[in-house]
Chains A and B, each alone.
Chain A
Amino acid sequence: MQEDFHYYATYCAAFIAGYTHDESLDIAYSAQFVDLCSRTVLVKLKAPVTAATTQLQLELMDARTDIIGIQDITRIWASFHFLPRDLYAYKEKRPKKYMNKYRLICGPNGDLVKKTVELAKDRPLQSIGIAMHVLADTWAHMNFAGTPSLVINNASNFCELIQTEIADGNGTVSGDETASYEEIPLTFRHSPSAPDDLDGHLYTNSLLQRDETSIMNLGHGRAGHLPDYSFIRYRYMPAWDDYRLTEKDNPSDYYRAFTQMVYAMRYLHGDLESFEVDRYDQDTVAPYEDRIRGILIKRQLVANDDWKAFGEELSGEEIPGFDLDRYQDEYMSASDDDRDDTFIGGFVQGAIAHKTMVSNEIFESGNKLAGFVQKL
C-alpha cells in the first residue's frame, strides 16, 4: 500500500474507531513511517538499526543474498510488509527448502495478524500505527512472500478486469459479484522512473531474474505497483500456485482492510474485549461506506487528496502532510536516557518488539529464513 492508505486512510480509520485527532495523527504517522524507517534514516538519527522496518532501493542493491543477507531481508519484509498467513502450511511433494519460502506467503487473517494486534495492546500509539500498517499490507500484498524467491514471487499472465456493468442496475460500486468484466491484457515495462500509464494499461515491474534469490524476486516486484492501487482488479498466475490463475479485487480487499483496521483499533482503544481474525466492523463504518468505496475505485495513481478531504471532514481538523523530518530533531537532541520517551523512540521500541515477535514465530515454526531469534 501507499501513503494514501497507510497515512490518510489509517487516520480516518483511527478517528472512526474513537481516537482523537492528535492520536489519529500519531497512529497514521507511525503507520506511514514503517515504509520509510530504513537503516539509512536510523543511522542518521543514531538510533538502533535493528529497528529498521524497510530497506531503500539503494540498500537492497547492496544487500547480500547469501543466507545471512536473506535472513536480514526476510526479517524486515516478512515482519512489516508481507506478514505470513500460515507458518505451518502444507503442500505435498515439496522439499523443506521450498516449504520454508511457501510458508512465508502473505495473506490476511492469519494467526500472526492476531498476535500483531494483541502485541500493540496497552502500548504507545506508535505500536498501533505499526500494527495497522502490517494488518493493511496483509490485504494488499497477499499471495507474495517477504523473502527473495523466484519460485514463489514470480507472476505472469496479467490482465486487468474492468467492470463493464453492474447487473443489479442500482449503480452501486460495491464490486457486486454479478457484475460483468472486460479483460484487458496488461503490459509491463522496466522503467522505474516513468509513472504507470493507467489509461494505456502500461505498468512497471521488476526485471525477470532467473536467479532464485535475486532481489528482483522480493515481494510483489514482479507485479509492479498493482497490489498498491486500490482501484484495480486483475487476474494473474502466481508461480507458487501450480499454474492456477488468481483474481485480485483490490477495491473489495481494501475496504475489508479498512473495516478490519477500525475493528482492531476499537479493540486497542478499549471498546472491545478481544480481537479475532476475519471480523470487520461494518456497522461503525457503514455511514461512510459509499464515500470510502468511491475513493477506492477512483482510477488514480495516488488517492492522497481524496482520503485527506474525507479525514478532514470527519474530524473537522486539518491533516498535515506526512513529513519525514517532523520528529527527528526531538530524537536527536534528547539524551540517551530520554530517547525512548520521544516519538521516534516509541516507534523504535514498537518496531523492535514486532520484528522480534514475528521473527521468533518464524523461527519456532522450524523455518530458518528469518534467522535465529529469541523471544523477548
Chain B
Amino acid sequence: MNELTEMHQLNTDDQIALRRFRNTLRLAGGGYIVFGIWSIMKFLMMITMQQKYMEMMFDLSDTMADTGMNATVGDIIFIIVISLFVVGIHLWIGLGAVRYAQGSGGKRSHLVLAILGVIITIVQLPLYFYDPVQKIIQDVDMTTIASIMVDITLIFLFFDMIISTIQIDKLIRSTAVTDTDTATDKG
C-alpha cells in the first residue's frame, strides 16, 4: 500500500533501535520505582528483625533521649527519614530514566546513579554470605536466597538502564535521527 507520509524514514534500523531502547529504558525506570517498595521492606525487616541493627537504632534512640527527645519518636523519625530517602532515590533514578526515555528530560543524572547503584549492589552481594565485621560466615536460608535473587534482578535492571541510556544517546547523536515518535498514547 502507498505511504501517506515518509514512513520509510521512520522505519530505518536506527529509528527502530531507538524505539526499542526507549521502551527498555522506560520499563527499567518504572521497574526501579516499584523496586523502591522492596527496598523499604528490606530496610524495615533489617532494623526490626536483625539484632545488631536494632541495637544500633537503640543506641541512636538513647542519644536522642539524652537531648530530651522521646526514644519512640526518635525511632519513628529515623525510620521515616530513611524510608523517604530510599523512596526519593528510587523516584529520582526511575523517573529520570522514564523522562529520558520519553524524550522530555535532557539530563542523564539517572545514569550516574544507576552506575553507582549497580556497583553497590554487586559489592554487597557477598555480604549475604560473609560478615566482615564479625568475620563469620552467615547462615543462608530461603529468605536470603530470595533476597539474592531479587538483587540479581536489580543488577540486570541497572544494566538495562545503563546500556539503553548510552545507546539512546549514541543513536541520537550519531545520525540525523529525529525525535518524531515520542508522542505516545496516554492510556
Residues of A whose CB lies within 8 Å of any CB of B are 156-159, 161, 175, 177, 179, 181, 183, 185-190, 205, 208, 233, 235, 237, 242-245, 247, 249, 252
Instruction: Write out the residue numbers on chain A whose beta carbons fall within 8 Å of the beta carbon of B181.
Output: 157, 237, 245
Cross-interface CB contact of A244 among B1, B11, B184, cutoff 8 Å: B11
Instruction: Write out the residue numbers on chain B whose beta carbons fall within 8 Å of the beta carbon of A161.
Output: 4-5
Query: B79 at interface (Cβ–Cβ under 8 A)?
Result: no
Residues of B whose CB lies within 8 Å of any CB of A are 1-5, 7, 10-11, 16-17, 19-20, 23, 180-181, 183-187
Q: Is the CB of A249 within 8 A of B20?
A: no
Q: Is the CB of A187 within 8 A of B20?
A: no
Are A243 and B1 CB-contacts (below 8 A) given A157-B181, A157-B183, A188-B187? no
Q: Is the CB of B4 within 8 A of A247?
A: yes
Q: Is the CB of A177 within 8 A of B3?
A: yes
Cross-interface CB contact of A235 among B2, B5, B187, cutoff 8 Å: B5
Are A181 and B185 CB-contacts (below 8 A) given A237-B19, A242-B16, A244-B16? no
Instruction: Write out the residue numbers on chain A whose beta carbons fall within 8 Å of the beta carbon of B11.
Output: 244-245
CB-defined A-B contacts under 8 Å, sample of 26: A159-B183, A175-B4, A177-B2, A177-B3, A181-B5, A186-B185, A187-B185, A187-B187, A188-B186, A189-B187, A190-B187, A205-B185, A233-B4, A237-B19, A242-B16, A243-B16, A243-B17, A243-B19, A243-B23, A245-B7, A245-B11, A247-B3, A247-B4, A249-B1, A249-B2, A252-B1
Instruction: Write out the residue numbers on chain B whose beta carbons fall within 8 Å of the beta carbon of A252.
Output: 1-2
B1 to chain A, nearest CB (A): 7
Q: Is the CB of B10 within 8 A of A245?
A: yes
Instruction: Write out the residue numbers on chain B whose beta carbons fall within 8 Å of the beta carbon of A186.
Output: 185
Total A-B pairs in contact (CB under 8 Å)? 63
Of chain A, the residue at the smallest CB distance from B180 is A183
Instruction: Write out the residue numbers on chain A whose beta carbons fall within 8 Å of the beta carbon of B187.
Output: 187-190, 205, 208
Cross-interface CB contact of B4 among A177, A189, A237, cutoff 8 Å: A177
In the assembled complex, the Cα of A261 lies from the Cα of B164 at a distance in Å of 48
Instruction: Write out the residue numbers on chain B whose beta carbons fall within 8 Å of the beta carbon of A233.
Output: 4
In the assembled complex, the Cα of A183 lies from the Cα of B183 at a distance in Å of 10
Instruction: Write out the residue numbers on chain B whose beta carbons fall within 8 Å of the beta carbon of A183.
Output: 5, 180, 183
Counting chain B CB atoms within 10 Å of each CB, the highest count among A189, A233, A235 belongs to: A235
In the assembled complex, the Cα of A249 lies from the Cα of B184 at a distance in Å of 19
Cross-interface CB contact of A156 among B5, B7, B184, cutoff 8 Å: B184
In the assembled complex, the Cα of A257 lies from the Cα of B87 at a distance in Å of 54
Additional A-B contact list (8), CB under 8 Å, known A157-B184, A158-B185:
A158-B184, A177-B4, A183-B183, A237-B19, A243-B17, A244-B16, A249-B2, A249-B4
